[in-house]
């Protein structure tokens, strides 16, 4: 059975006609052709499919597209603006926070969600908060450094 679903993806309204079993990940990749969001495990274990749903990070392989009806979705394609990289993207480049790059979209979107979450953002918290995003290349130290640079700049700005 098909359902009509409206999503606001990266600021643009999208009306879709979907099988009730379609995941948000499949809707993004296969219908909207937003292939920056990666399919890794397809069972909620790797974080490569992370997107923001109404500003909160989710594993899009675990969300049915019909559950996202009426909600806003941010994918990696919506992170930069006007051709300018987001500071977090720039930080990943500066810190060499990637190797093959497969996990990188999920890492960056997850980090964006993490940086907006209301918990203590110490360097250790970055590691704990990002523990749902696996990197088979083992680029963890550089990924953590990239996120920590942005975390500490946010903290500095808040305290000045
Ligand atoms: S593909 Fe969704 S968590 Fe791995
Ligand atoms: S950079 Fe290759 S999986 Fe993370």
3-state percent breakdown (helix, strand, coil) of the chain, nearest 5: 40, 20, 40
Pocket test for ligand 1, best of 53, 105, 106 (most atoms within 8 A of CB): 106
Joined tokens for residue 38: 């990666």
DSSP structure class, residue 136: T
Ligand 2 center from residue 105 Cα (angstroms): 10
> Domains, the chain, ranges and CATH?
2-78 (3.10.20.30), 87-159 (1.10.150.120)
Report pTM.
0.96
Nearest-atom number in ligand 2 for the CA of 138 is 4
Ligand 2 center from residue 103 Cα (angstroms): 5
What confidence tens digit (pLDDT) does each residue in 112-122 have? Answer: 999 999 877 78
What confidence tens digit (pLDDT) does each residue in 69-94 have? Answer: 999 999 999 999 999 999 999 999 99
């Amino acid at each position: 059975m098909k359902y009509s679903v409206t999503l606001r993806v990266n600021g643009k309204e999208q009306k879709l006609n979907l099988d009730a079993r379609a995941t948000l990940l499949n809707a993004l990749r296969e219908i909207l052709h937003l292939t920056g969001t990666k399919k890794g495990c397809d069972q909620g274990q790797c974080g490569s499919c992370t997107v923001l749903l109404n500003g909160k990070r989710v594993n899009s392989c675990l969300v049915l597209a019909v559950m996202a009806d009426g909600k806003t979705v941010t994918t990696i394609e919506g992170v930069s603006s006007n051709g300018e990289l987001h500071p977090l993207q720039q930080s990943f480049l500066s810190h060499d926070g990637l190797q093959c790059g497969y996990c990188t979209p999920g890492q960056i979107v997850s980090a964006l969600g993490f940086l907006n979450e209301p918990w203590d953002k110490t360097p250790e918290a970055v590691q704990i908060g990002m523990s749902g995003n696996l990197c088979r290349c083992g680029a963890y130290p550089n990924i953590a450094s990239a996120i920590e640079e942005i975390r500490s700049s946010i903290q500095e700005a808040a305290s000045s």
